[in-house]
Chains A and B, each alone.
Chain A
């Protein structure tokens, strides 16, 4: 990183973004592992509780055994991989985009719209914007302002590619 360059991040900016990346990674990793460790976990109940404009699509996922198995697998190992990748800063660009996509799906299946209620009450109060949406937008920021090539294993790849 060239300190004087306008396009580059200042060290505090970079560190703040890396902090965001690591914390979001931690969240993904734990959400993934907790599902992996529970042999009875399935996304089915969550999907069946879907509301909003895409409800029927999520219900189709829940009621289709083959699709559900894939959804479950991706929810377990997908979250683990995204989390690990964000923390380590390895293939972070793919991970941030995949993470944003996953969160967008979570959001769309349970959008906090006016008059819409869910079986499981949310842990906060939301109107249209909820934590999934905020976390998703952060991942988009991280995808656009990559940090892993400065701090993270991507730095090694980045360097060797430039050889």
Chain B
């Protein structure tokens, strides 16, 4: 674990794995420190931002230094089910790369349990871990200029769904009808870090 300074009011904690990120993020959320403005988990880091002029960073530091990163976080996560149709434009490419049939890809992707490791890229875009090994594949060599909202893709160790139309380089395998982000809802983002996610084939 490395602590990196990030301006006057923030600290970037660098960790060795996504599991450690999850453990530290959970510990910091559980500590309910009053002066923290943002807690942003990412692939290998947790960004901690405190209210300017407060003692929030010092309090966070105490939690960070005493957190047990080897233990999976003790929590009872929400489970979110995302209906999906596996008809993405890169489904054949993903199957070919994995050396599987399309049906086997569908079975693998829909059979796994995923965890929202972190969000980013766009509001409501969750990076989901738990992707079966054969589906861990590189991004497209040429990103698409427009990926339709709801598209479900894979890239590296992650799978995820695009909350709205945007450019994107993930290999697209399907599409969900779930509304991943709506700023008018009480809870605008459907997915938050720590949530469990299942893809369910829509009939």
A-B complex is real: no
Q: A residues engaging B (CB < 8 A)?
A: none
